[in-house]
Structure 1
Amino acid sequence: MKRFALLVLCLLVLGGAIIPVFASEEGKLLIWADDTRSGIMRELAKEFTTKYQVPVEVQELNFGDIRDQLSVAGPAGKGPDILIGPHDWLGQLIVNGLIEPLDLGKKAKDFTPVALSAFTWGDELYGVPYAIESIGLVYNKKLVPKAPKTWDELVATGRKISNKAEQRWGFIVPHPDPYHEFPIMSAGGAYVFGNNPDGTLNANDIGLNNKGGVHGMQLLKDLIDDGIMPLGVDSNAATTLFKEGKVGMLIGGPWVLEDVKKAGINYGIAKIPLIDGGRPRPFVGVQGFMVSSFSKNKMLAKAFLDEYVVTKETMLALFEKGARPPVYNPALKAVKDADAKAYYEIASEGIPMPSIPEMNSVWSAWSNAIELIFNGKLTPQQALDEAVAQIRIAIDQSRK
Structure 2
Amino acid sequence: MRKSLIAVAAAGLTLSLAACGGGTPSNTGSPATTGGATPASPAASPEASAPAGSGSLTIWVDETRIDAFKTLGDSFSKATGVTLDVVQKPSQDIKTDFIAQAPTGEGPDLIVGAHDWVGDLQANGVISPVELGDKASGFNELAIKGFTYDGQLYGVPYAIENIALVRNNGMVKDTPATFDELIAQGKAVSGADFPIVIQQGPDGDAYHLYPVQSSFGAPVFKTDASGAYTAELGMGGPEGTKFAEYLKKLADEKVVSASIGADQAKQAFLDQKTPYMITGPWNVKPFQDAGIDVSVLAVPSAGGQPAAPFLGVQGVYLSSQSKNALVANQFIEYMTTPEAQDALYELGGREPALTESAAKVDDPILKGFAEAGKDGQPMPALPEMGAVWTFWGGAQVSIISGKADPATAWAEMVKNIQAKF
Does 2:330 match 1:323? no
Amino acid at match of 1:117: K
Aligned pair count reads 365
Does 2:400 match 1:358? no
Correspondences of 1:8-157 after superposition (within 5 Å): 27-157=55-185
Distance in 2 of aligned mates of 1:194 and 1:122: 16
1:248 aligned residue (251, 264, 275): 275
Distance in 1 of aligned mates of 2:63 and 2:207: 26
Contact kept, 8 Å, 2:162 with 2:311, in 1: the verdict is yes
Contact kept, 8 Å, 2:110 with 2:316, in 1: the verdict is yes
Contact kept, 8 Å, 2:352 with 2:358, in 1: the verdict is yes
Deviation at 1:210, TM superposition (A): 2.8
Contact kept, 8 Å, 2:146 with 2:313, in 1: the verdict is yes
1:343-393 deviation line (CA, Å, top 9, x unaligned): 122223211111122222222321121112112232322111111222233
1:28-59 deviation line (CA, Å, top 9, x unaligned): 32222234434444444455445544443333
Does 2:286 match 1:264? no
Does 2:314 match 1:298? no
Distance in 1 of aligned mates of 2:225 and 2:73: 41
Does 2:358 match 1:344? no
69-78 or 147-156: bigger deviation: 147-156
Deviation at 1:151, TM superposition (A): 2.4
Deviation at 1:91, TM superposition (A): 1.5
Contact kept, 8 Å, 2:156 with 2:315, in 1: the verdict is yes
Contact kept, 8 Å, 1:91 with 1:355, in 2: the verdict is yes
* Unaligned runs of at least 5 residues, structure 1: 1-25
2:196 aligned residue (171, 176, 187): 171
How large is the Cα RMSD of the aligned pairs? Answer: 2.4
Distance in 1 of aligned mates of 2:355 and 2:265: 34
Contact kept, 8 Å, 2:245 with 2:407, in 1: the verdict is no
Q: TM-score of the superposition, structure 1-length normalised?
A: 0.84
Distance in 2 of aligned mates of 1:34 and 1:388: 34
Deviation at 1:272, TM superposition (A): 0.5
* Unaligned runs of at least 5 residues, structure 2: 1-53
Deviation at 1:114, TM superposition (A): 0.9
1:222 aligned residue (239, 242, 249): 249
Deviation at 1:200, TM superposition (A): 5.8
1:90-121 deviation line (CA, Å, top 9, x unaligned): 11100011101112112112111111111010
Distance in 2 of aligned mates of 1:61 and 1:314: 22
Aligned residues with identical type, % of pairs: 36
Distance in 2 of aligned mates of 1:186 and 1:251: 14
1:232 aligned residue (239, 245, 259): 259
Where 1:75 maps in the other structure, the secondary structure is helix
